[in-house]
Chain A
Amino acid sequence: MQSNAALEYDYSIVKLFMWTTVIFGIVGMAIGVLIASQLAFPDLNYLMGEYGTFSRLRPLHTNVVIYGFTLSGIWASMYYVGQRVLKVSLLESGFLRFMSKLHFLLYMIVAALMVVTLALGITASKEYAQMEWPLDILVVLTWVVSGIALFGMIGLRREKTLYISMWYYIAFFLAVAMLYLFNNMEVPTYFFSGGLGAWYHSVSMYAGTNDALVQWWWGHNAVAFVFTVPIIAMIYYFLPKESGQAVYSYKLSLLSFWGLMFVYLWAGGHHLIWSTVPDWMQTMGSVFSVVLILPSWGSAINMLLTMKGEWNQLTENPLIKFMILASTFYMLSTLEGPIQSVKSVNAIAHFTDWIIGHVHDGVLGWVAFMVFAAVMHMAPRVFKREIYSKSLLEAQFWIQTIGVVLYFSSMWIAGITQGMMWRAVDEYGNLVYSFIDTVSVLHPYYTIRAFGGLLYLIGVFMFAWNFFKTATAGRRLEQEPRYKSPMA
């Protein structure tokens, strides 16, 4: 550490994003539990008239969890980690401080408009890119401002070498920008028709198969560069910090980073296997998905080995528990994905709940666990207070772990059951089941999944309460904790 280690950091922006992480987490996951329950108990579709059906609510769930909860967590950590590893404080630059606040303000505006428009059914209909063109422009603006803040901090840095986390934040910024721009190319109909119809309506620049290709190039890489890359940035900072251990291998982190950057984009084609996309692209999607295991496991193993000789911390510190289970789920999810990308497996898995299970062992087990751990590691440092309750954190960990396991195991069974029933034929080659048979059979699994989701949501409420109490009533800390976060 250098002599300027006593730099005072500006955490006001971090706090804002931490609060929205908690709020969006509750909202997004509550909608998730509701729509999961609707599949098991369809009468729940009629709670809010036309705004309460599964179909209308599903994009709200995905968008609020991805762009609300996850992005908030990522940006909270970006401003926290950024200042600290670059050795620069936002207090040093009025301009950057303003940009960070503007970033938050624009983000809130987009989020509010997103929720309203999706509820009203105003949508471009492309998954995870549903927002219509006026909102797309606001998103781009928000993104540019966040980039100015990020690269501004980098420009002012005292520590000349970029720490691993910063590599990932930079990649996150660049890749999402590129993909979002290309996927949301739309033609507003109002201006080409002499002012007819809804002014916010648009048609996609691309048609049919081309549109599908761009969409899943984006869709897959939204997963890559929102749910993976910045989350790796977080674990590379928070796990060594919380445990007091040095990252196991620099070389492994190099290999994993550049490998991930190169391979990830190719794998988008695996969402389009057996579709009308040219065969060679489908095969490329398959092959590169399998190759993707290498850089993914590289990061995860690097994290696990960082704990070498210090595994006792796993029993003593719930935050370490969260992070180690997060990397373990990352390994599970990045092995499962490639398996589903194999053409013959994909023939069964695609269109079924196995895919939903895969997404959720990734996001609940890996992404959200890492976000919880990061927020709870930051809380004592930004609020200068002790974490309110260790036992609550422990309870949250276990109830959510059980929730995730119930979730993905039920969805695995549901998906494979349905995939097999769709293709089942009798001795004369006739289909055995009508479609509705393959729906009715899923009822128990849908019920288990909704219950698993409910357990997870209860954990989120515990987290929110713990966070709230830490911020407002935790015991004051005289000095910043060095490694392990203090908790009562």
Chain B
Amino acid sequence: MFHWLEKHPFFFAVGVFVVIAYAGLIEVLPNFMEKARPIKGLKPYTVLELAGKEVYKKDNCIACHSQLIRPFKAETDRYGQYSMSGEYAYDRPFLWGSKRTGPDLHRVGRYRTPDWHANHMWNPKSVVPDSIMPAYKHQFTNVADLETAYAEAVTVKKVFNTPYGDDIKPGKAAFEKYKKEKILPEALKIAKAMKRDDLVKMVESGKVPEVVALVAYLERLK
């Protein structure tokens, strides 16, 4: 059989493909029959939090931080309750990471405060003297892309039925209205809790610094 296959590339390729694809058929597909189910009480990310998640992705925090607490005592003692599948139901993409050069962040919102984050992102050594994490000062002046975050909320609501309210709808006008009524007040609260006047001023002028969005996202991780 193998000799024959080696003379007939088409059937050889088909054979290889079947053998390769077989595992996916058995191992990956069944899990997709059931959609990701949120645990009870889980709310979708707010637009500000989504913008923060984009900052998390852009500055690639997952290079050093995981969001997956494994079910060991040493991990639950250090980080809190182990992670459950339903908690990730609105995570597109998942951000578990694969390396902990820094600590896990899945429940960082439980034990850090916005002003701690403000100090830490500005200069990590000011709160953790031996830290090897770089400072992310540019996040204090770069403006977060709220419009893209809003577009993401509209998209997941439409395509995946993520339970957002009726005020999340397509179009520039809807976004501007939503930004004024929902996003900016939420950002202002975070900026004030971060205890930095420059951040508060920026938010008041209608621009949300990346770090404010990021901290909103980190605060959400509980």
B149 to chain A, nearest CB (A): 7
A35 to chain B, nearest CB (A): 9
Bound complex: CA of A320 vs CA of B160, how far in Å?
A: 55
Residue contact B91 to A211, C-beta cutoff 8 Å: yes
A49 to chain B, nearest CB (A): 7
Residue contact A123 to B17, C-beta cutoff 8 Å: no
B157 to chain A, nearest CB (A): 9
- The yes or no answer to B204 lying at the interface (CB within 8 A) is no
Residue contact B36 to A208, C-beta cutoff 8 Å: yes
Residue contact B60 to A211, C-beta cutoff 8 Å: no
- The yes or no answer to B217 lying at the interface (CB within 8 A) is no
* 0 or 1 for each of B167-198: is its CB under 8 Å from A? (1 = yes): 00011100100000000000000000000000
- The yes or no answer to A209 lying at the interface (CB within 8 A) is yes
Residue contact B94 to A212, C-beta cutoff 8 Å: yes
- The yes or no answer to B92 lying at the interface (CB within 8 A) is yes
Residue contact A58 to B9, C-beta cutoff 8 Å: no
Q: For A198, what are the chain B residues with a Cβ–Cβ distance below 8 Å? A: 145, 148, 151
A270 to chain B, nearest CB (A): 12
Residue contact B151 to A50, C-beta cutoff 8 Å: no
* 0 or 1 for each of B40-75: is its CB under 8 Å from A? (1 = yes): 000000000000000001111111101010111111
* 0 or 1 for each of A59-86: is its CB under 8 Å from B? (1 = yes): 1000000000000000000000000000
Given A204-B92, A207-B92, A212-B94, also A196-B100 (CB < 8 A): no
Q: For B128, what are the chain A residues with a Cβ–Cβ distance below 8 Å? A: 436
- The yes or no answer to B214 lying at the interface (CB within 8 A) is no
Given A178-B17, A192-B159, also A211-B70 (CB < 8 A): no
Q: For B172, what are the chain A residues with a Cβ–Cβ distance below 8 Å? A: 194-196
Q: For A314, what are the chain B residues with a Cβ–Cβ distance below 8 Å? A: none
Closest A residue by C-beta to B142: A50
Residue contact A214 to B145, C-beta cutoff 8 Å: no
Within 8 A of A (CB), among B111-148: 128, 130-136, 138, 142, 145, 147-148
Q: Which of B19, B59, B74 contacts A53 (CB 8 A)?
A: B59
A80 to chain B, nearest CB (A): 19
Consensus secondary structure, chain A interface: helix
A279 to chain B, nearest CB (A): 11
- The yes or no answer to A111 lying at the interface (CB within 8 A) is no
Residue contact B175 to A266, C-beta cutoff 8 Å: no
- The yes or no answer to B155 lying at the interface (CB within 8 A) is yes
Given A254-B2, A275-B70, also A126-B93 (CB < 8 A): yes
Given A154-B9, A162-B12, A435-B103, also A215-B149 (CB < 8 A): no
B13 to chain A, nearest CB (A): 5
Bound complex: CA of A125 vs CA of B67, how far in Å?
A: 14
Q: For B87, what are the chain A residues with a Cβ–Cβ distance below 8 Å? A: 208
Closest A residue by C-beta to B158: A192
- The yes or no answer to A284 lying at the interface (CB within 8 A) is yes
Q: For B222, what are the chain A residues with a Cβ–Cβ distance below 8 Å? A: none
What bracket does the count of chain B residues touching chain A fall in?
35 or more
A349 to chain B, nearest CB (A): 11
* 0 or 1 for each of A204-234: is its CB under 8 Å from B? (1 = yes): 1111111111110100000000000000000
Most chain B CB neighbours (cut-off 10 Å) among A125, A206, A264, A353 = A125
A355 to chain B, nearest CB (A): 7
Closest A residue by C-beta to B2: A254
Q: For B35, what are the chain A residues with a Cβ–Cβ distance below 8 Å? A: 207, 210
- The yes or no answer to A483 lying at the interface (CB within 8 A) is no
The interface-forming segment of A136-144, A166-174, A447-455, A467-475 is A166-174
Residue contact A207 to B22, C-beta cutoff 8 Å: no
Residue contact B74 to A209, C-beta cutoff 8 Å: no
Residue contact B132 to A171, C-beta cutoff 8 Å: no
Residue contact A189 to B132, C-beta cutoff 8 Å: no
Bound complex: CA of A167 vs CA of B8, how far in Å?
A: 11
Residue contact A276 to B83, C-beta cutoff 8 Å: yes
Bound complex: CA of A209 vs CA of B32, how far in Å?
A: 10
- The yes or no answer to A402 lying at the interface (CB within 8 A) is no
Closest A residue by C-beta to B58: A121
Given A161-B6, A431-B77, also A209-B88 (CB < 8 A): yes
Residue contact B98 to A355, C-beta cutoff 8 Å: yes
Q: For A155, what are the chain B residues with a Cβ–Cβ distance below 8 Å? A: 9
Q: Which of A122, A204, A262, A265 contacts B93 (CB 8 A)?
A: A204
Q: For A277, what are the chain B residues with a Cβ–Cβ distance below 8 Å? A: 31, 85
Bound complex: CA of A59 vs CA of B98, how far in Å?
A: 13
Q: Which of A58, A175, A212, A281 contacts B60 (CB 8 A)?
A: A58
Q: For A355, what are the chain B residues with a Cβ–Cβ distance below 8 Å? A: 98-99
Bound complex: CA of A38 vs CA of B134, how far in Å?
A: 9
- The yes or no answer to A101 lying at the interface (CB within 8 A) is no
* 0 or 1 for each of A254-277: is its CB under 8 Å from B? (1 = yes): 100010011011101101001111
- The yes or no answer to A95 lying at the interface (CB within 8 A) is no
A441 to chain B, nearest CB (A): 10
Residue contact A170 to B92, C-beta cutoff 8 Å: no
The interface-forming segment of A12-20, A39-47, A326-334 is A39-47
Given A217-B28, A423-B72, also A39-B170 (CB < 8 A): no
- A–B pairs, 7, beta carbons within 8 Å: A175-B20, A192-B159, A193-B150, A211-B91, A213-B31, A262-B23, A424-B74
Q: A197-B150, A214-B28 are in contact. List 15 more A-B contacts (CB 8 A).
A: A45-B135, A50-B59, A58-B63, A125-B95, A171-B16, A187-B155, A192-B159, A196-B154, A198-B148, A201-B152, A206-B93, A209-B31, A276-B88, A347-B72, A351-B100
